[in-house]
Homo-oligomer: A and B are copies of this chain.
């Protein structure tokens, strides 16, 4: 069986979340297990009442980048959270919130979107990662 791919999501901007969602969907389509660990501003974006908000873009996007992202959205591109939902339906995708970031942002488990499967600590993250790939986004 393939080793698990571990993605640490730190950044909370829509472009990085979209990149992470697409990488996850591609891995899931190949049958690779993906373990996502949500920290800081990425975790904040998974609050149920913030998931669908505009989370901005990386600073270097600029007005042209912003226009490109908006044009693709209007042309029907799925937002990142729908891409992630579809990837989870394929199976093998697990999303865990970092317990320290939960404390930092004063988030309770019930505040999170159902996309998130649970809360775990950093040690549990490393144990799940084993010797597999770890990607910080």
Contacts and interface: CB of A to CB of B under 8 A. Distances in A.
Contacts of A11: 58, 60
A111 B89 CA distance: 37
Please tell me how many copies of the chain the complex holds.
3
B133 A136 contact: no
A18 to B, nearest CB: 8
B29 A123 contact: yes
Interface string A34-63: 000001110010000000000110111100
A110 interface: no
Interface string A79-114: 000000000000000000000100111100000000
B122 A26 contact: yes
Contacts of A106: 68
A23 interface: yes
A19 B58 CA distance: 18
A30 B127 contact: yes
Contact of A22 (B5, B27, B122): B122
A134 B133 contact: yes
B26 A16 contact: no
> Would you list the 3 A-B pairs with minimal beta carbon distance, nearest first?
A26-B122, A133-B134, A12-B60
